[in-house]
Amino acid sequence: MAGGNCTQVSEFMLTGFSDSPEIQAPLFVVFLLIYVTALVGNLGMILIVRLDSQLRTPMYFFLSNLSFIDLCYSTVVAPKMLADLLAERKAISYTACAIQICVFSQFDVMECFLLAAMAYDRYVAICHPLLYRVVMCPRLCVQLVAGSFLVGCVNVIAQTTGMLTLTFCGSNVIDLFFCDISPLLSLASSDSRVNHILLLVLASLTGVFTGLVGVCIFVYILGRGQKCRSQPGRKPGFTSCVSWLIVTECFLLAGTGLFIYLQPSTKYSRDQDKVVSVFYTVVTPMLNPLIYSLRNKEVKAALRLTISFPRLFLSS
């Protein structure tokens, strides 16, 4: 418990990955390339979906929103992480730390529920193709995205309200490369048991619920996989569902998020958190547009058309 002479810390120190300059320089180059690839890939996906009328379908509507989310929450983390790799003093103010936690939590939770909506979209498209345009109408698609945003807002409000009741008078060192709610709670001088319980409940509801929705739909579709593969018109949807559902939903997002927030907090677990956090904060936003563009003929065709259009215009 905090004493009466408690002096609230005004900034936190991030440990980052390592203090060795020999390691920080290569890490800066690697993460810069990953971040630039994520920016180009996600911006490209958004522009392609906007410019190509053939891609104005529910699936690509969700993909463009997913790219926007990946773009936002990777930008919340990556620029500060890159700057700290070149800085000797890795400090972040209390206000900036709180903002980073809120914005990152908003888009992280929003992506979880958006992926569950994408799983439902693929379920309807593959298992009920004749009803697809009726069920997945534009109104429902907008409602699913808006619902994901509202759930993210509820999560942020709950965490922010609990965080504002805490005092930080002792150590101000966050053993991570960005401000996250879990290591921040361990630094609180006041009683944070309620906050830990709230974090466990929110993480379980978000990760477990959306993960189970995606896995159950995937298993159901997989059970009808032979029938889907035997029909040429439904094979691309099945292939796309398998690729993004396995890689993104099951392993990179739901799995890594649950691993970080539901495990006990120890020094060894914090070292693991740094590795795991890199995947769902930096690597996943880079992989998503690559998976969709490389595995999807429609996106590749739209990309070729978008690239060739300026050339045709100039040559004419």
The answer to whether 74 and 104 have CB atoms below 8 angstroms apart is: no
In this predicted structure, what is the pLDDT of residue 247?
43
Q: Read off the pLDDT of residues 174-227 as tens digits, 9 standing for 90 and up.
A: 888 888 888 888 888 888 888 888 888 887 778 777 777 777 777 777 776 555
Q: Is the pLDDT of residue 290 over 50?
A: yes
Q: Residue 173 is inside which H or E element, if any?
A: strand 173-174
In this predicted structure, what is the pLDDT of residue 191?
80
In this predicted structure, what is the pLDDT of residue 285?
87
In this predicted structure, what is the pLDDT of residue 140?
94
Return left, alpha or beta for 16; rule: phi > 0 is left, psi -120 to 50 is alpha, else beta.
Answer: left
In this predicted structure, what is the pLDDT of residue 253?
62
Is 15-301 assigned to CATH 3.40.640.10?
no
Please give the average per-residue pLDDT across 224-245, as a whole number.
Answer: 53
Per domain, the residue ranges of the chain are 15-301
Please give the average per-residue pLDDT across 26-37, as a whole number.
Answer: 92
In this predicted structure, what is the pLDDT of residue 225?
58
Q: Read off the pLDDT of residues 130-176 as tens digits, 9 standing for 90 and up.
A: 888 899 999 999 999 999 999 999 988 888 888 888 888 878 888 88
In this predicted structure, what is the pLDDT of residue 34?
93
Nearest one of 149, 150, 191, 145 to 168, comparing CA atoms: 191
Q: Is the pLDDT of residue 250 over 80?
A: no
Q: Which residue has the higher pLDDT, 1 or 41?
A: 41
Lookup result for tokens 């807002």: 153
Please give the average per-residue pLDDT across 272-289, as a whole number.
Answer: 80
Which strands sit side by side in the sheet containing 91-93, from one edge to the other? Answer: 91-93, 11-14, 173-174
In this predicted structure, what is the pLDDT of residue 141?
94
The answer to whether 293 and 45 have CB atoms below 8 angstroms apart is: yes
The answer to whether 11 and 92 have CB atoms below 8 angstroms apart is: yes
In this predicted structure, what is the pLDDT of residue 151?
92
Rounded Cα gap, residues 199 and 282, in angstroms:
22
Mean pLDDT of the chain: 78
The answer to whether 257 and 108 have CB atoms below 8 angstroms apart is: yes
Q: Is the pLDDT of residue 275 over 80?
A: no
137: helix, coil or strand?
coil
